[in-house]
Chains A and B, each alone.
Chain A
Amino acid sequence: MTLAQPQPSELNFDCETGNYHTFCPISCVAWLYQKIEDSFFLVIGTKTCGYFLQNAMGVMIFAEPRYAMAELEEGDISAKLNDYEELKRLCLQIKRDRNPSVIVWIGTCTTEIIKMDLEGLAPRLEAEIGIPIVTARANGLDYAFTQGEDTVLAAMAHKCPNQAPQAEKDERNAIAKLINFGKKKEENSEYIDHPPLVLFGSLPDPVVTNLTLELKKQGIKVSGWLPSKRFTELPVIEEGYYVCGVNPFLSRTATTLMRRRKCKLINAPFPIGPDGTRAWLEKICSVFGIEPKGLEERETKIWQNLEDYIQLIRGKSVFFMGDNLLEISLARFLIRCGMTCPEIGIPYMDKRYQKAELALLEKTCKEMGVPLPNIVEKPDNYHQIQRIQALKPDLVITGMAHANPLEARGINTKWSVEFTFAQIHGFTNARDILELATRPMRRNNNLKDLGWDKLVKEEVQA
C-alpha cells in the first residue's frame, strides 16, 4: 500500500497473518435488504453460506426475508447444469413470488473458484426477464464483514442514473423557478448555492434523516443518498458531483464514484461520535466554502450530556481485536472520551480513503496526551489473545467467538457486531455508542464485590 500522505505519519502500522474471526461479507444482505425495500438479494453459494446467514441473522430469518440462497449442488459445480438456465429459473420464481425492482446477486467463494461469470450472465438475464440485476462479489476469499456492503454499493453506483429526469431539470431552470415562485423558492432559499452533494453508505432511515438535517442547518443540500430507500430512487450522479462517505469501509464505492462516475470525493473523518460528526460537517462545509455555524457549541453540549457515561471509561484502556472496519473511528472517539488504546486491529486499512480519519486519530491522541495506538491490519487472533492476557485491557471489543471465553477469564468485552447494527452516526447517537461501550462497566458496578471475576479453572498448559 502506498502512502499518499504528504508527511510521514507517526502511527505505526503492522500486518499479521490474517488468522482472525469475522463475519462473512455476505452478511451485508441482512441489513441491505431491509434498507432497500424493493430489492431481493440472491446469494449464489453453498449450504455453508446459507447456514451462516440463517444463524448469524437469528430471528430475522423468520420474517419472510427478501433474500434467499441459490444453493449450488454437485451438478452446478461440475458444470453438468447450465448456470444461465439455472439462474433464470430461480430469478423467474423470485419475480413471480416477490416482484422486486432489483435482484442483487451476491457472488461467493464458490462462484469465484468455479469461475461462474455472474457479471457476464447478468446483463443477458436482465434483458430477458426485465428486472435489473446487480452483481456483487462479496466473498470470504477477498473481503471481511462490512466490506460486503462496499462491494454491493460499488456495483450499485453503476446503476445510478446519469442525469436527472426532464421534469427535475426544468425545476432547476431559472425561468421555471420564477414560475414556481413562492413555495419552491422558499424551500430552496434554506440552502446555500453549492454543487450537488451525494452521500454514500447504508444507514437506517432515522440516521439518514438526522444527518441530512445536520447538513441542512449548515445550508447544505443532500441531493441524494446511495443507497436510497428504494432501488428505483437511486440518486442521479453526474460528472463533477461531490460525494462523501459516512462509513469507513466504503473504499471501493468511493473509488468507483471517483473513477467511473467522475465525482469529487470529500475526504473527511466519519460522523461517528460528536468529534467525528463535527469534523465531517466542517470538512464538507470547507469544501463548499461555507463558514460552519454553531458546531462548537453543539459539540460541547453533546459532550456535556455524555459526562455520566464518560466517567465510567475515562482513564481506562480499550483493545480492538478488529473485525468490522469501524475500529479507527470508534477508537478515535473513545480516546477523545479519555480512554487509552494500545491496539487497533482492523481487517483492512485503506490509508487513502481513511486519510482524514487517521489524521484526526493522531491529532486526538496528541491533544489527549495519550500514546498512539498500534494499528494491526489482518490481525492474528491467537497472538492478540496473548497480548490481551499480557496487557489486561479494561475493555476488549471483539467478536462473539472470543467474548465469552475472555469474560470467563475476567476480561471485559463488548461484542463488536453490535456497533455495526446500532445507530452510531451523528451528534444524536453518540450516546448510543457509549451505551454499548460502557455496558460491561455498568454490569461490573452492579456485580462488584461478588468475587466472580474469573470463572475458569487455572489451565494446565505448557
Chain B
Amino acid sequence: MKLAYWMYAAPAHIGTLRIASSFKNVHAIMHAPLGDDYFNVMRSMLERERNFTPVTASVVDRKVLARGSQEKVVDNITRKDKEEKPDLIILTPTCTSSILQEDLQNFVERATMDTSSDVLLADVNHYRVNELQAADRTLNQIVEFYLNKARKQGKLAENKTKIPSVNIIGISTLGFHNNHDCTELKKLMAELGIQVNQVIPQGASVHNLKNLPSAWFNIIPYRELGLMTAKYLEAEFNMPYIDITPMGVVETASFIRRIQAIINSQGGDVNYEEYIDNQTLYVSQAAWFSRSIDCQNLTGKKAVVFGDNTHAAAMTKILAREMGIHVVLAGTYCKYDADWFKTQVKDYCDDILISDDNAAIADVIARLEPAAIFGTQMERHVGKRLNIPCGVIAAPIHIQNFPIGYKPFLGYEGTNQIADLVYNSFTLGMEDHLLEIFGGHDTKEVITKGVSADSDLNWEPAAQAELNKIPGFVRGKVKRNTEKFARERGFSKISLEVMYAAKESVGA
C-alpha cells in the first residue's frame, strides 16, 4: 500500500478510452462498477465536447460478483452494436475486472458472433501499465487488428503514394494541446510538399487504417503515444519513422532534416535547408527573441522543468539551448521510460529527477527556489504557494489548458507560443519582485469600497462569527448588504436573525 494524495498519470483504462474515443465511430464498453465512467465527464468538460462520449459501462454490481458478468457483458456489447452501429467496440478492463479475473476474451468472442461491429478486448493490465502505456498499446492493438484483417481480405494498400506522404501518429483526445499541434503539423507538411496520408487516432476511421502503409514514413510527435505502432509498422512494412518532437527551433529543424533524409532515401529529391533558414530567421520569432535584449535579461535565471517525457525534455532543451536559461532541475513522471529522458536532457540541466511523487517535487522546488517553473498543473499550485510563477507545459491539466484560441506547442508557431509562455512567466516574476521591494502598488491607499469600512452598526458575536464563515471574496458584499438592510429597517444591532432576514429579503 502506498499513501498517495495525487497522481500524474491516470490509470490504464483512461489511456484505452482516450484512444477509443479519439477514433470516429468506435465505442468503448468499460467493465467497471458504477461511477467509474468519470472519463465521460472529463471529456465533456475539458474538451467541451459537443457529442456524447462513446463510452458506456457494463456495470459490475453485487449480482455480478455473485454469478459473474458474462451475460451482462455480452448483452451490453450486442445492445451497443444495435443502438449505435459502431465500427468497433472495445471492451475495456478496469482495476475491478483485473481482480475478478473473468475470461473477458471469451465474452468478446461470444459477442462477436452476434455483432456487426468488430469487438476487441483492450490488452491492458491495470496493475502493470499506466494511462500513457495503455494508450500506446491500445493504438497499436487496433492498428494491428485492422491491418491483419485487411491482409486476410486482400484489401491491404500495397503501393506508396505518388508524392511523398506521411502518417501522423499519436494525436488523441485529452492530450495536451494535441488538436492545435495537429493543425500545425499539417500546415508544416503542406509547406514541405508532403501529403498527409492519415492522422491517427484523432478523427480517424478504422476502415481507413488499411491505407496506412501507403505513406512513405510515419511521424511520432509525442514520445508517449504512437511509438509501438510506429515500430510495428516499421517491422511489418518497412516504414521508417521519425521520433523527434518538433518542439523548439533546433528540434524542429532536425525534425525537418530527418524528413528530408527519409524522402531522399526513398527516391525523392528535396532540400529543405532554405525553408528551415527562412522560417528560423524571419517567420518564427523565437530565434530573434533569443537575440533580443528581453531574452538577454533572462540569461542565467534559474528554472525547474517537470512533466511528461516529451514536453519536459523539449522544454529543457529550449530553455537551456535557445534562451540561455539555467535549468537547475529537469524531471519526468514517466518512470517507465526514464533512460530515454536522461539521455535527452543530461547535457542541458544540473540535475535530473525521476519521480511520480508530487510532494518530492514540491520539496525540491522549495529548496532550489527557481525564478520560474515549467510543469504540470500540480507544479503551478506549488508555485502559487511559494510565490514562483509557473508555465504549464504538460498534462495533468485543467480546463484552462484546453484553450479555444490557436496555441500549438509544436512547429514554428509553437516556438512563438513557447517564447511567450516563457517570457511572460519570468516577467511576471520580476514585476512581482519589484512590487515587493517597493512596498506594493502605490495606488493602494486610494482604493475605497464606497461604503465606509467602519460602520455604526454593532455585530453580535454570533453574527460576526457567521459572517467570518462566508468566503472572503463575497464577505464584503454580504456585510454591506446586511448593514444596508439593517439601517433601512432601523436595527442597531446585527444578530443572526437580522442576517438571515437580510439574506431572504435582499439576497445579501
Point out residues on A near B: beta carbons under 8 Å. Answer: 18-26, 44, 46-48, 50-52, 54-56, 58, 61-62, 65, 68-74, 76-77, 81, 86-87, 89-90, 93-94, 109-110, 112-114, 139-145, 205-206, 209-210, 213, 301-302, 305, 382, 385, 399-405, 408, 427-428, 431, 455-456, 461-462
Whether a CB of chain A sits under 8 angstroms from the CB of B404 is: no
Q: Name the interface residues of B1-37: CB closer than 8 Å to any CB of A.
A: 1-7, 10-11, 13-14, 32-37
Whether a CB of chain A sits under 8 angstroms from the CB of B489 is: no
Docked pose: A329 CA to B281 CA in angstroms: 66
Q: Would you mind naming 17 contact pairs between A and B with Cβ atoms under 8 Å apart?
A: A21-B40, A21-B41, A22-B34, A25-B35, A44-B1, A47-B11, A48-B11, A48-B126, A51-B7, A69-B5, A71-B3, A93-B3, A143-B34, A400-B45, A405-B53, A408-B50, A427-B504
Give which listed residue, B57, B127, B470, B505, contacts A206 with CB less than 8 A. Answer: B470
User: When each residue 98-112 of chain B gets 1 if its CB lies under 8 Å from chain A and 0 otherwise, what string results?
Assistant: 111000000000000
Determine whether the beta carbon of B34 is less than 8 Å from that of A302: no
- What residue of chain A has the Cβ atom nearest to residue B34's Cβ? A140
Kindly provide the distance from the CB of B120 to the nearest chain A CB, expressed in whole angstroms.
21
Kindly provide the distance from the CB of A455 to the nearest chain B CB, expressed in whole angstroms.
6
**A81-B45 contact given A18-B59, A54-B6, A141-B60, CB 8 Å threshold:** no
Kindly provide the distance from the CB of B10 to the nearest chain A CB, expressed in whole angstroms.
5
Kindly provide the distance from the CB of A203 to the nearest chain B CB, expressed in whole angstroms.
13
Given contacts A52-B38, A89-B1, A143-B34, 16 further A-B contacts (CB under 8 A): A19-B56, A19-B59, A25-B35, A47-B11, A48-B13, A50-B4, A50-B6, A52-B36, A55-B38, A55-B42, A69-B5, A141-B61, A206-B470, A213-B497, A403-B44, A408-B51
Whether a CB of chain A sits under 8 angstroms from the CB of B466 is: yes
Whether a CB of chain A sits under 8 angstroms from the CB of B469 is: yes
User: When each residue 40-83 of chain B gets 1 if its CB lies under 8 Å from chain A and 0 otherwise, what string results?
Assistant: 11101100111111001101111001000000000010000001
Determine whether the beta carbon of A77 is less than 8 Å from that of B127: yes
Which 8 A-B pairs rank lowest in CB-CB distance, beginning with the nearest?
A24-B35, A140-B33, A401-B40, A408-B50, A46-B95, A140-B35, A86-B1, A47-B11
Kindly provide the distance from the CB of B351 to the nearest chain A CB, expressed in whole angstroms.
25
Give which listed residue, B5, B14, B49, contacts A405 with CB less than 8 A. Answer: B49
Determine whether the beta carbon of A405 is less than 8 Å from that of B6: no
Whether a CB of chain A sits under 8 angstroms from the CB of B503 is: yes
Docked pose: A122 CA to B360 CA in angstroms: 30
**A382-B42 contact given A72-B1, A113-B96, CB 8 Å threshold:** no
Determine whether the beta carbon of B469 is less than 8 Å from that of A205: yes
**Which residues of chain A have C-beta atoms less than 8 A from B497's C-beta?**
213
Docked pose: A54 CA to B358 CA in angstroms: 13
Determine whether the beta carbon of A47 is less than 8 Å from that of B53: no
Determine whether the beta carbon of B96 is less than 8 Å from that of A109: yes
Whether a CB of chain A sits under 8 angstroms from the CB of B381 is: yes
Kindly provide the distance from the CB of A303 to the nearest chain B CB, expressed in whole angstroms.
11
Docked pose: A145 CA to B355 CA in angstroms: 33
Kindly provide the distance from the CB of A190 to the nearest chain B CB, expressed in whole angstroms.
13
Docked pose: A83 CA to B50 CA in angstroms: 45
**A48-B36 contact given A68-B4, A69-B4, A305-B504, CB 8 Å threshold:** yes
Q: Name the interface residues of B384-417: CB closer than 8 Å to any CB of A.
A: 384, 398
Determine whether the beta carbon of A382 is less than 8 Å from that of B56: yes
Kindly provide the distance from the CB of A281 to the nearest chain B CB, expressed in whole angstroms.
15
**Which residues of chain B have C-beta atoms less than 8 A from A94's C-beta?**
3
Give which listed residue, A20, A141, A401, contacts B62 with CB less than 8 A. Answer: A141
**A73-B2 contact given A48-B11, A51-B7, A209-B466, CB 8 Å threshold:** yes
Give which listed residue, A21, A47, A71, A113, contacts B100 with CB less than 8 A. Answer: A113
Docked pose: A455 CA to B48 CA in angstroms: 12
Q: Of A51, A74, A427, A455, which is in contact with the most chain B CB atoms at under 10 Å from its CB?
A: A51
Docked pose: A69 CA to B6 CA in angstroms: 8
**Which residues of chain B have C-beta atoms less than 8 A from A86's C-beta?**
1
- What residue of chain A has the Cβ atom nearest to residue B506's Cβ? A305
Whether a CB of chain A sits under 8 angstroms from the CB of B500 is: yes
Docked pose: A210 CA to B499 CA in angstroms: 10
Give which listed residue, B53, B85, B505, contacts A462 with CB less than 8 A. Answer: B85
Give which listed residue, B5, B61, B127, contacts A18 with CB less than 8 A. Answer: B61
User: When each residue 456-491 of chain B gets 1 if its CB lies under 8 Å from chain A and 0 otherwise, what string results?
Assistant: 000000000010011000000000000000000000
Determine whether the beta carbon of B57 is less than 8 Å from that of A19: yes
**Which residues of chain B have C-beta atoms less than 8 A from A431's C-beta?**
504, 507
**Which residues of chain A have C-beta atoms less than 8 A from B503's C-beta?**
428
Kindly provide the distance from the CB of B206 to the nearest chain A CB, expressed in whole angstroms.
17
Determine whether the beta carbon of A22 is less than 8 Å from that of B99: no
Residues of A contacting B: mostly: helix
**Which residues of chain B have C-beta atoms less than 8 A from A55's C-beta?**
38, 41-42
- What residue of chain B has the Cβ atom nearest to residue A408's Cβ? B50
Determine whether the beta carbon of B5 is less than 8 Å from that of A68: yes
Kindly provide the distance from the CB of A189 to the nearest chain B CB, expressed in whole angstroms.
18
Determine whether the beta carbon of B470 is less than 8 Å from that of A400: no
Docked pose: A145 CA to B36 CA in angstroms: 11
**Which residues of chain B have C-beta atoms less than 8 A from A18's C-beta?**
34, 59, 61
**Which residues of chain B have C-beta atoms less than 8 A from A50's C-beta?**
4, 6-7
Give which listed residue, B98, B127, B381, B469, contacts A62 with CB less than 8 A. Answer: B381
Kindly provide the distance from the CB of A231 to the nearest chain B CB, expressed in whole angstroms.
19
Determine whether the beta carbon of B51 is less than 8 Å from that of A456: yes
Docked pose: A74 CA to B50 CA in angstroms: 38
Kindly provide the distance from the CB of A306 to the nearest chain B CB, expressed in whole angstroms.
10
Determine whether the beta carbon of B56 is less than 8 Å from that of A71: no
**Which residues of chain B have C-beta atoms less than 8 A from A142's C-beta?**
61-62
Whether a CB of chain A sits under 8 angstroms from the CB of B316 is: no
- What residue of chain B has the Cβ atom nearest to residue A435's Cβ? B507
Docked pose: A139 CA to B64 CA in angstroms: 14
Determine whether the beta carbon of B1 is less than 8 Å from that of A144: no
**Which residues of chain A have C-beta atoms less than 8 A from B83's C-beta?**
382
Docked pose: A89 CA to B35 CA in angstroms: 29
**Which residues of chain A have C-beta atoms less than 8 A from B127's C-beta?**
73-74, 77
**A213-B496 contact given A54-B7, A141-B60, A405-B44, CB 8 Å threshold:** yes
Docked pose: A52 CA to B35 CA in angstroms: 9
Give which listed residue, A47, A113, A305, contacts B10 with CB less than 8 A. Answer: A47
Q: Of B76, B83, B128, B130, which is in contact with the most chain A CB atoms at under 10 Å from its CB?
A: B83
Determine whether the beta carbon of B56 is less than 8 Å from that of A140: no
**Which residues of chain B have C-beta atoms less than 8 A from A47's C-beta?**
7, 10-11, 95, 126, 130
Whether a CB of chain A sits under 8 angstroms from the CB of B245 is: no
Kindly provide the distance from the CB of B477 to the nearest chain A CB, expressed in whole angstroms.
15
Determine whether the beta carbon of B35 is less than 8 Å from that of A22: yes
Docked pose: A143 CA to B130 CA in angstroms: 27
**Which residues of chain A have C-beta atoms less than 8 A from B128's C-beta?**
74
**Which residues of chain B have C-beta atoms less than 8 A from A93's C-beta?**
3
Docked pose: A44 CA to B95 CA in angstroms: 13
Determine whether the beta carbon of B466 is less than 8 Å from that of A23: no
Docked pose: A320 CA to B13 CA in angstroms: 29
Docked pose: A17 CA to B56 CA in angstroms: 13
Kindly provide the distance from the CB of B74 to the nearest chain A CB, expressed in whole angstroms.
14
**A404-B45 contact given A109-B60, A209-B496, CB 8 Å threshold:** yes
Determine whether the beta carbon of A210 is less than 8 Å from that of B500: yes
Whether a CB of chain A sits under 8 angstroms from the CB of B197 is: no
- What residue of chain B has the Cβ atom nearest to residue A44's Cβ? B1
- What residue of chain A has the Cβ atom nearest to residue B467's Cβ? A206
Whether a CB of chain A sits under 8 angstroms from the CB of B94 is: yes
**Which residues of chain B have C-beta atoms less than 8 A from A401's C-beta?**
37, 40-41, 44, 52-53
Kindly provide the distance from the CB of B350 to the nearest chain A CB, expressed in whole angstroms.
27
Kindly provide the distance from the CB of A228 to the nearest chain B CB, expressed in whole angstroms.
15
Docked pose: A250 CA to B246 CA in angstroms: 55
Kindly provide the distance from the CB of A47 to the nearest chain B CB, expressed in whole angstroms.
4
Docked pose: A46 CA to B61 CA in angstroms: 17
Kindly provide the distance from the CB of A385 to the nearest chain B CB, expressed in whole angstroms.
8
Docked pose: A213 CA to B504 CA in angstroms: 14
Determine whether the beta carbon of A140 is less than 8 Å from that of B36: yes
Determine whether the beta carbon of A71 is less than 8 Å from that of B2: yes
Kindly provide the distance from the CB of A268 to the nearest chain B CB, expressed in whole angstroms.
21
Give which listed residue, B65, B76, B381, B507, contacts A113 with CB less than 8 A. Answer: B65
Kindly provide the distance from the CB of B111 to the nearest chain A CB, expressed in whole angstroms.
17
